[in-house]
Amino acid sequence: MAIGMSVARQLRKLMVLLSFGFRTQSNKRDEVLSAVDGAVARLRHVPGCSRGRVFADTEDPDSFTLFSEFESIDQADVFLTSKEFLVLKGIRMMLRDEPVVVLDDVRTRLTRLVRE
């Protein structure tokens, strides 16, 4: 398949990337990650959510970002008002800073294999 056809097919599908960045208090890291792990497991079953992952910062052991992909902004908004998101809001007292939510509208995604 020509690359142009692949791009055209991917352009038809909008994706919303929701990121939830947070820094834990060092002594609360395990407790926070346990709560986030459960929330991510439930997030993966939310209608319209195609992926949920938590990434650790390589420079700050207490800094993490939860990334999730939604099929539309409306579905991301539904998640932000859901009981699953309330769990994430509930960990605020165990964080160093206020968590930050960012929504990105992704209209194109190109995936390529890295080969020698």
Domains along the chain with CATH numbers: 16-106 (3.30.70.100)
What is the per-residue pLDDT across 34-54, written as a single tens digit (0 to 9) for each? 999 999 998 888 889 989 999
pTM: 0.80
Give ∠ CA 86-30-93 in degrees, rounded to 5: 45
Q: CB-based burial of residue 32 (10 Å sphere; 0-12 exposed, 13-18 middle, 19+ buried)?
A: buried
Strand partners, 95: 24
Residue 83 is predicted with a pLDDT of 85
d(CA 73, CA 3): 27
What's the first-to-final CA gap in the chain, in angstroms? Answer: 21
